Structure 1
Amino acid sequence: MSLLAHLQSIPDPRIDRTRCHDLQAILAIALCATLAGADNCLEMAEFGEQHQQWLARFVSLPCGIPSHDTFARVLRLLDAQQLESACQQWLRQVAGQVQGTVAIDGKSVRGSRKGDAPRALHMVSAWAADMGLLLGQCKVDGKSNEITAIPELLRLLHLKGCIVTIDAIGCQKIIAEQLHTHGADYVLSLKANQRHMHAVVQKHFGTPDGDVPGKDNTYAECFTGHGRQEHRSYKVSPIPQALARAAAHWPGLASVVQVVRQRQQADKPASNEVSYYLSSLPAHTPAHVVARSIRAHWSVENQLHWSLDVAMREDASQSYKDQGPHNLSLLRRMALQMLKSDSSVKIGVQAKRKRAGWNLAYLEQLLGISD
């Protein structure tokens, strides 16, 4: 079932006497336009005007193409939770059985903040790194932070058998318990927000007794490129005795991990960074498996957040009122997933958006629709 079909289940927030255009037609045009390069409501309306005859094959247009004011007004009124639910159902259908590493991370939509507003819209996303799939997203409440949004997002997902990676803000007992209960493993970045555990783990790896013998529990790798050399070494260790009492309150916790990153860049002094992680993976898990999951976490930045900023121009999108920023963000993420899922051409996301605008047959292919 295509995303356009899922959008038909969303209730219209407008009263009957004010409706001139079908809600599903407005959302379909907005999605098509976003795929084809539109970045705002004005461009959505222009796309519709230029392709009205083509659009009429798939959606009802009794009053023609909505104006840009209509797009803006409807997106402000539309319940973003309803759109998010429809998108989630489609993403679950696309993803199927999720495997490998799933990275959870947040991103602010900078263009959604204006004047003295306290903060911009902040979205937490789940990214299946090995599959290159967006699994879901959740808005962070304006008066809260990612700690409350991550459990809500996890409730929407089926992650049994996956390794879930989260940065330090998600290193919380309640999140570890939720993942463990649902059959997922975790690798959580440990920093000073968990002061006692961080100090104990740091001391553990800082003493000779903290070194992990055996080739299966240590791993090293080197990277060269972009004018720099980087060496990374990984150590996986059982829970230190000094951490045993605290670890009992972390469901599934089985090991601690140290990562040392040494970087040498031309004309700059060498840098040395040490990171620590809490993990439910057994201490005898080969360190290269743990290393792959830790590295994979950054794909949510490189493949999702970077694409939203550069290819989808998310931070340049000026939308501030009501549900508008959230709904536009959801449309961009769905469009990005469609573009990334297409393997028929070996070009970047920006080029695919242009192709979709130039070639309506390609746009139909992305949408999964036919006559």
Structure 2
Amino acid sequence: MTPCTAKKTFQAAAEARAQLVVQLKDNQPTLLQQAQALSATGKPIMTETSVTRGRNRHETRIVAVFEPVWGGDETEWKPLVKQVIQVTRNVLQRSAKTGLWSSSAEVAYYLASAPLIAPQLAAIRNHWHIENKLHYTRDVTFQEDNSRIRTNPGIFARLRSFAYNILRCNKTDSFNQTRFAAALGNLNALRHWILS
């Protein structure tokens, strides 16, 4: 989402009296830098820490919520953004092969159009679930980002979505293997969904 699109989205949410949470990315460098500066110098109004363990993985998630402080009072974002949210994920992952632990850290920033309370912050975790389950599968298994289709790309995006939904409905163990089997003519991969 470009800054211009983000601003229009926030304006539409304000007009509809809807709550909106948008992740800041690299294509919004000014807003992202302002959020980073705010989290480095400001004091959060709320923090929440959660720990998830399981299957050789230990994840600590720290959510910090800040009141937005913009450079000037006349900024166009002031009436639209009510909170800036910083999510820090520290992950320890144990390799079953070597037994060694590796660590990774990731920081993401979000803008909220209304003050959020702790249960609503769980929506951010659901965003990662969608990102990992849907978008990662489409990018890796269906190689959507590598697509060179320039004529009617929306049609092929819908076909990939259709194939993804069939595989998800069948509760397949491996998208790659089931997709490969279907490509070889083994339509049993699709039969359950088509007949039900």
| TM-score above 0.5 | yes
Alpha-carbon distance between aligned partners in 2 of 1:196 and 1:321, rounded to the nearest angstrom:
31
Deviation at 1:219, TM superposition (A): 1.1
Q: Structure 1 pair 177/293, CA: closer, same or farther in 2 (3 Å)?
A: same
1:282-312 per-residue CA deviation (whole Å, 9 max, x = no partner) reads 1xx223422x2222222333222344356xx
Alpha-carbon distance between aligned partners in 1 of 2:51 and 2:81, rounded to the nearest angstrom:
29
Count of aligned pairs:
183
Is structure 2 residue 110 aligned with structure 1 residue 277? yes
1:164-193 per-residue CA deviation (whole Å, 9 max, x = no partner) reads xxxxx7873123223433443222223565
| Letter in structure 1 aligned against 2:194 | L
| Secondary structure, aligned partner of 2:132 | helix
Larger RCO (alpha carbons 8 Å, 6+ apart): 1
Is structure 2 residue 87 aligned with structure 1 residue 256? no
Alpha-carbon distance between aligned partners in 1 of 2:147 and 2:88, rounded to the nearest angstrom:
40
1:329-365 per-residue CA deviation (whole Å, 9 max, x = no partner) reads 322213433554x4xx6544745996x9238575132
In the TM superposition, what are the counterparts of 1:12-23 in structure 2 within 5 Å? none
Q: Structure 1 pair 250/296, CA: closer, same or farther in 2 (3 Å)?
A: farther
Q: Is the 8 A contact 2:64 2:86 kept in 1?
A: yes
* Larger-Rg structure: 1
| Letter in structure 1 aligned against 2:108 | S
2:97 alignment partner in structure 1: none
Q: Is the 8 A contact 1:177 1:251 kept in 2?
A: no
Alpha-carbon distance between aligned partners in 1 of 2:149 and 2:194, rounded to the nearest angstrom:
29
Q: CA RMSD in A?
A: 3.9
* Structure 1 length-normalised TM: 0.39
In the TM superposition, what are the counterparts of 1:269-348 in structure 2 within 5 Å? 270-282=103-115, 285-290=116-121, 292-308=122-138, 313-315=141-143, 320=149, 322-323=151-152, 325-340=153-168, 342=169, 347-348=172-173
* Structure 2 length-normalised TM: 0.66
Q: Is the 8 A contact 2:26 2:32 kept in 1?
A: yes
Q: Structure 1 pair 176/269, CA: closer, same or farther in 2 (3 Å)?
A: same
1:221 alignment partner in structure 2: 50
Q: Structure 1 pair 270/361, CA: closer, same or farther in 2 (3 Å)?
A: closer
Q: Which runs of 5+ in 2 are unaligned?
A: 95-99
Alpha-carbon distance between aligned partners in 2 of 1:197 and 1:173, rounded to the nearest angstrom:
11
1:193-243 per-residue CA deviation (whole Å, 9 max, x = no partner) reads 545544443343334x5132xxxx321111234544221111123223656
Q: Is the 8 A contact 2:91 2:103 kept in 1?
A: yes
Q: Structure 1 pair 210/227, CA: closer, same or farther in 2 (3 Å)?
A: same
1:363 alignment partner in structure 2: 194
Q: Structure 1 pair 294/244, CA: closer, same or farther in 2 (3 Å)?
A: farther
Match of 2:63 among 234, 238, 245: 234
Deviation at 1:268, TM superposition (A): 5.9
In the TM superposition, what are the counterparts of 1:77-226 in structure 2 within 5 Å? 147=2, 172-191=6-25, 193-207=27-41, 210-212=43-45, 217-225=46-54
The structure in which a higher percent of residues are strand is 2
Q: Structure 1 pair 173/332, CA: closer, same or farther in 2 (3 Å)?
A: same
Q: Is the 8 A contact 1:314 1:329 kept in 2?
A: no
Q: Structure 1 pair 264/348, CA: closer, same or farther in 2 (3 Å)?
A: closer
| Secondary structure, aligned partner of 1:235 | strand
Alpha-carbon distance between aligned partners in 1 of 2:147 and 2:156, rounded to the nearest angstrom:
10
Identity %: 25
Deviation at 1:326, TM superposition (A): 4.0
